Amino acid sequence: MSKIEKNDNVGFGMQIRKSPYFQATERWGATSYSVYNHMYIPRSFGNPEENFWNLVNAATLSDVSVQRQVEIKGPDAAEFVQLLTPRNLSNLKVGQCKYILITNADGGILNDPVLLRLGEDHFWLSLSDSTLFDIYAF
């Protein structure tokens, strides 16, 4: 049991999972957690000013296992992915990533994932903190 779990003021619910790196983030000094895509994610590693300067001048630890990948594959994949975003993807090469916005018909932002092109007709979207089902009723 981790030091955070032993704290009587912290509750870990069964419907929210720990990332595979939960114990490691504690070893590296995680002091608080938030929930991101139904998973606990470290929110702080101590002193916020020190964390800021580490980000600017050195490096910081980020647990990205909370991101979810959606695979889009098939003969119409490129056309479909282009319909999701106003960003021009015509020059996206295999092996390249782009930050995109997924918008609704009114231009409202539904999600801001990173898009990776794995093949001519093969893509991964790494969604931010939501699922499109959470935001958009089909």
CA distance 108 to 113: 14
Q: Smallest Cα–Cα separation from 98: which of 77, 114, 75, 78?
A: 114
Q: 103-118, pLDDT tens digit by residue?
A: 888 888 888 889 999 9
- Taking the domains of the chain in order of start, what are their residue ranges? 3-66, 68-135
* pLDDT the model gives residue 73: 97
Which residues of the chain have a pLDDT value below 50? Answer: 135-138
Which residues are CB-contacts of 51 (< 8 A; sequence separation ≥ 6)? 44, 45, 60
* pLDDT the model gives residue 59: 80
Structural domain 68-135, CATH architecture: 2-Layer Sandwich (3.30)
Model pTM score: 0.62
Place of tokens 């995680």: 30
* pLDDT the model gives residue 137: 44
